[in-house]
């Protein structure tokens, strides 16, 4: 039992009630100042009086490290084959017909550059066979979750012919994959709409809001905005869905920065939902990792952005108190509240809340395997010809464990941390990123406090 150097986070709600959050169990419990001081005294002396408050809490499993690090000493391949089915991300092209200012392929990110590299059918087919072989091993172990293929880029529809060939190949061989695509939608014709919908693709469209907001950053090489062509692609999809009496199933990936009018963006998608039916809006602040992108903003813009986000949060909490859960279900902007709600039903893994290596694999045009489509291309974990390099996997896990032991052991909110490998990859190794860490801590603490501000007024608000 290890409880050293850890003081649970204490917070006070707007009604003046005090609680502590225990990162090892994700539990939040009422705590008086006297009780909190007893916890602090125990951490300093490691002495537990019999039948004391601290003694009873520890007996209930609180304040106790039950093993927070992944063991890399075992057979990594055996562990890999016990995972639920893997998602294969086929990075089928590095071409893109747009030059979005915040794209990780652009000049402002330390990632990689645009190129004319495209995945050929042979490579894609080998990757699919690799995934199917792994899936069959899992089926033998009783795992029945279907594997999935995500077509990614660049702009994946610039290699549309390969997408069609791979899907047809899977049908011919009776490979029961689920299909997804992330696209800017500018190339979606009526023919492509029919293909995607008929093959039950989950379609994620990059659209940042109305014409003005989208064209501010999503542009062609000549500088012209892409909104009109994106919207034409959306209309082609919606039209075909309606022609076969199926409700549209679309996700919109929205990126925003300090200059974005978040309220206006949400109003836009509210109107869009009224027009085409249920949608999901995946809203993400543009990444601030290894980039110069945010150097363009001044403090006034940052302050205005934060004020707007606080107003949106207050408005959301007011809706919560009246029982209106629409925003929670529709916008990923409020995923922090869903994460808090599911903190008991989703076990804390030894990888914290990150994806376990092997749960998904990104394959590039040269057949190399990476841990994620969002990770830069500095650390490969194998290739589709020789398989996963388990030594490389072990090295990554050991490096992450080292980072967490050195930087996370004393953190009082690490049980809900979402930082993962991709935030720490730099110059071919994992390097702790203090800025990302501080932003994550502030987000988690704000989420917990906001949730309890609501729960004290409406105990069943998140049910």
Residue 133: give its domain's CATH number. 3.20.20.70
Kindly indicate the confidence band of residue 349, based on its pLDDT and cuts at 50, 70 and 90.
Answer: very low
Closest Cα partner for 282 from 340, 353, 338, 352? 338
293 and 198 fall within a common domain: yes
pLDDT at 117: 92
191-195, 235-239, 424-428, 458-462: least confidently modelled range: 458-462
pTM for this one? 0.85
174 and 57 fall within a common domain: no
Assess whether pLDDT exceeds 80 at residue 205. yes
**How many percent of the chain have pLDDT more than 90?**
41
Per the domain annotation, does 372 fall within a domain? yes
35-49, 112-126, 204-218: least confidently modelled range: 35-49
Q: What is the DSSP string of 334-353?
A: GHHHHHHHTTTTSPPBEEEE
Mean pLDDT of 379-389: 91
86 and 153 fall within a common domain: yes
Assess whether pLDDT exceeds 90 at residue 456. no
Per the domain annotation, does 358 fall within a domain? yes
Q: What is the DSSP string of 355-398?
A: PPTTSEEEE-TT-BEES-TTS-TT---EETTTEE-HHHHHHHHH
The DSSP call for residue 333 is: G
51 and 199 fall within a common domain: no
Per the domain annotation, does 374 fall within a domain? yes
Per the domain annotation, does 424 fall within a domain? no
158 and 296 fall within a common domain: yes
Mean pLDDT of 41-52: 73
32 and 86 fall within a common domain: no
Of 353, 383, 413, which one is at a domain's C-terminal end? Answer: 383
CB within 8 A of 8, min separation 6: which ones? 20, 21, 22, 23, 39, 62, 63, 412
Of 383, 405, 435, which one is at a domain's C-terminal end? Answer: 383
- The range of the structural domain enclosing residue 40 comes to 1-66
pLDDT at 71: 56
136 and 242 fall within a common domain: yes
The total number of structural domains that make up the chain: 2
pLDDT in tens, 281-328: 988 888 777 778 888 999 999 889 888 887 887 777 677 666 665 555
Mean pLDDT of 50-79: 69
Residue 286: how many other CB atoms lie within 10 Å? 20
pLDDT at 326: 56
pLDDT at 285: 86
Of 383, 418, 440, which one is at a domain's C-terminal end? Answer: 383
62 and 80 fall within a common domain: no
25 and 169 fall within a common domain: no
pLDDT at 428: 86
d(CA 81, CA 390): 12
pLDDT in tens, 241-267: 999 999 999 999 999 999 999 889 989
Per the domain annotation, does 2 fall within a domain? yes
Per the domain annotation, does 140 fall within a domain? yes
61-70, 163-172, 261-270: least confidently modelled range: 61-70
Map 196-219 to HEC letters: HHHCCCEEEEECCCCHHHHHHHCE
Per the domain annotation, does 441 fall within a domain? no
pLDDT at 356: 75
186 and 323 fall within a common domain: yes
Per the domain annotation, does 407 fall within a domain? no
46 and 92 fall within a common domain: no
pLDDT in tens, 206-254: 999 999 999 999 999 999 999 999 999 999 999 999 999 999 999 999 9
277 and 237 fall within a common domain: yes
pLDDT at 3: 46
């Amino acid at each position: 039992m290890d409880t050293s150097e850890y003081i649970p986070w204490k917070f006070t709600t707007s009604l003046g009630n005090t609680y502590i959050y225990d990162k090892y169990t994700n539990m939040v419990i009422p705590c008086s100042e006297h009780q909190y001081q007893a916890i602090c005294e125990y951490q300093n002396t490691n002495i537990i009086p019999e039948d004391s408050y601290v003694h009873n809490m520890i007996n209930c499993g609180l304040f106790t490290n039950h093993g927070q690090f992944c063991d890399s000493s075992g057979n990594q391949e055996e562990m890999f084959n016990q995972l639920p089915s893997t998602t294969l991300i086929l990075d089928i092209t590095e071409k893109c017909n747009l030059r979005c200012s915040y794209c990780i392929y652009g000049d402002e990110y330390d990632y990689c550059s645009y190129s004319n590299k495209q995945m050929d059918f042979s490579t894609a087919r080998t990757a699919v066979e690799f995934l199917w072989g792994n899936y069959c091993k899992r089926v033998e172990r009783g795992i029945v979750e279907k594997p999935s293929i995500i077509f990614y880029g660049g702009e994946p529809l610039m290699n549309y012919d390969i997408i069609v060939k791979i899907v047809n190949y899977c049908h011919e061989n009776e490979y029961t994959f689920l299909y997804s695509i992330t696209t800017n939608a500018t190339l979606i014709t009526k023919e492509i709409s029919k293909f995607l919908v008929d093959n039950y693709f989950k379609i994620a469209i990059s659209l940042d809001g109305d014409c003005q907001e989208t064209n501010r950053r999503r542009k062609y090489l000549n500088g012209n905005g892409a909104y009109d062509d994106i919207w034409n692609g959306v209309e082609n999809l919606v039209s075909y869905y309606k022609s076969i009496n199926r409700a549209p199933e679309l996700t919109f990936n929205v990126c925003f920065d300090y200059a974005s009018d978040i309220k206006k963006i949400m109003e836009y998608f509210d109107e869009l939902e009224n027009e085409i039916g249920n949608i999901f809006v995946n809203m993400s602040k543009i990444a601030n990792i290894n980039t110069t992108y945010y150097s363009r903003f001044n403090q006034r813009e940052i302050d205005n952005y934060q004020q707007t986000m606080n107003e949106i949060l207050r408005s959301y909490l007011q809706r919560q108190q009246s029982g209106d859960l629409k925003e929670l279900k529709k916008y990923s902007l409020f995923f922090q509240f869903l994460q808090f709600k599911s903190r008991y039903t989703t076990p804390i893994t030894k990888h914290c809340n990150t994806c376990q290596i092997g749960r998904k694999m990104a394959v590039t045009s040269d057949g190399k395997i990476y841990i994620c489509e969002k990770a830069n291309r500095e650390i490969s974990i194998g290739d589709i010809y020789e398989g996963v390099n388990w030594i490389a996997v072990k090295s990554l896990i050991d490096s992450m464990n080292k980072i967490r032991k050195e930087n996370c052991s004393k953190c009082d909110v690490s049980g809900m941390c979402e930082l993962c490998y991709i935030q720490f990859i730099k110059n071919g190794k994992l390097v702790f990123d203090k800025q990302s860490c501080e932003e994550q801590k502030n987000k988690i603490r704000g989420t917990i406090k906001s949730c309890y501000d609501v729960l004290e007024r409406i105990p069943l608000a998140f049910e």
